[in-house]
Amino acid sequence: MEVQEEALHQRGAGKSTPHACLDQNTTWDLIDDIEKLRQHLEIPEWQVFGGSWGSTLALAYSLAHPDKVTGLVLRGIFLLRKKEIDWFYEGGAAAIYPDAWESFRDLIPENERSCFVDAYSKRLNSDDKETQYAAARAWTKWEMMTAHLLPNEENIKRGEDDIFSLVT
């Protein structure tokens, strides 16, 4: 059996350019990118792997192109439902990771803490680069500290890098 592995850096993330760009960066744009890659590589059908947000994207791709997907390999499944977002970003996960939550929470002024997702979105889309970087570092550190039951210190340190944080 022949196995071919391909990896895609989605728009605005990883090694893709333009760096950290959100223009034309919707789920449907990403699904189109995956399909264009499959066609470009002339792969008739394939298994799709995804983790966390990538699991959501893999599921969405498989629904849009069911005849091209032979199977899914998913880890850390995140379905992007409101209750999942609320639990993770609005305080539920804080009970498991209280120390990590403090630095995530403390970047946002108390009068904006009714919705952390909105407060971070405002900062990540700010015209001020330092505001963007500060929000990106705090957001990435929160995700890195909560990605595993036992935090990986090396990964957490990567979140201190402005460029890495902005595209993660």
pLDDT digits (tens, 9 = 90+) for 23-78: 788 999 999 999 999 999 999 999 999 988 899 999 999 999 999 999 999 998 98
Binned at pLDDT 50, 70 and 90, residue 159 comes out as low
Residues 120 and 125: their CA atoms lie apart, in Å, by 8
* Helices within 8-152 (DSSP H only): 27-40, 53-64, 82-89, 98-106, 116-124, 129-146
Residues 114 and 110: their CA atoms lie apart, in Å, by 8
DSSP SS3 for 90: coil
Asked if omega into 18 is within 30° of 0 (cis), the reply is yes
DSSP class of 18:
S
Domain boundaries, the chain: 1-80, 82-161
Quick one: average pLDDT of 146-159? 73
